[in-house]
């Protein structure tokens, strides 16, 4: 496999550098981060990564109207961040993508409850 001279090589003992992201990957990642940049929308995604909820329950938990929650959920569904399934007369929203779950879990592991950056866990000897 030929080396790409534009990419830095890893130092001995460090993991190999992965291929640089494509323009399409960069655009999709930026769009996902933009979608999650709204605190109420991020709160909704956090809740949905931890269980299945209907729109009324989500509205109560986040403290915004059902209409506003529905708009946020629609955007998240269109982007493929969440899914919905019918349960009788209501829709339950879930996150099926383990990458989304990991992303949300990692950011909140990184942010302390007071909003500052959480300290890194101690390194194993």
pLDDT digits (tens, 9 = 90+) for 5-41: 455 555 555 566 689 999 999 999 999 999 999 999 9
The conformation of residue 17, written as its DSSP 8-state character, comes to P
Question: Does residue 20 form part of some domain?
Answer: no
Go through 84-103 and write b for each residue having 16 or more CB atoms within 10 A of its CB, e for each that does not: beeeeeebbbebeeeebeeb
- Return the pLDDT at 119: 80
Q: What's the pLDDT score for residue 18?
A: 82
Q: What's the sign of the alpha-carbon dihedral 98, 91, 39, 37?
A: positive
In a domain, 28, yes or no: no
CATH number at residue 63: 1.10.10.10
| Segments forming the whole domain that contains residue 78 | 38-110
Under a CB-based contact definition with an 8 Å cutoff, are residues 47 and 102 in contact?
Answer: no
Identify the pLDDT of residue 78.
95
Mean pLDDT (whole number) for 36-48: 97
Quick one: CA dihedral 96, 25, 72, 41, positive or negative?
Answer: positive
Instruction: Report if residue 21 sits inside a domain.
Output: no
- Domain assignment present for residue 16? The answer is no
Structural domain includes residue 59: yes
**What is the tens place of the pLDDT at every residue in 68-125?**
999 999 999 999 999 999 999 999 999 999 999 999 999 999 999 999 998 877 777 7
Q: Label residue 2 by pLDDT band (50, 70, 90).
A: very low
Structural domains counted in the chain: 1
Identify whether 50 is part of a domain. Answer: yes
Establish if 120 belongs to a structural domain: no
- Determine, yes or no, domain membership for 88: yes
């Amino acid at each position: 496999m030929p080396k790409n001279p534009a990419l830095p090589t890893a130092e001995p003992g460090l993991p190999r550098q992965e291929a640089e992201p494509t323009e399409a990957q960069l655009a999709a990642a930026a769009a996902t981060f933009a979608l999650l940049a709204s605190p109420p929308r991020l709160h909704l995604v956090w809740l949905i990564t931890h269980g299945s909820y209907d729109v009324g329950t989500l509205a109560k938990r986040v403290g915004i109207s059902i209409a506003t929650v529905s708009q946020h959920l629609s955007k998240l569904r269109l982007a493929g961040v969440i899914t919905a399934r019918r349960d009788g007369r209501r829709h339950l929203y879930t996150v099926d993508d383990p990458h989304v779950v990991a992303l949300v879990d990692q950011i909140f592991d990184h942010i302390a409850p007071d909003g500052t950056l959480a300290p890194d866990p101690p390194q194993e000897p």
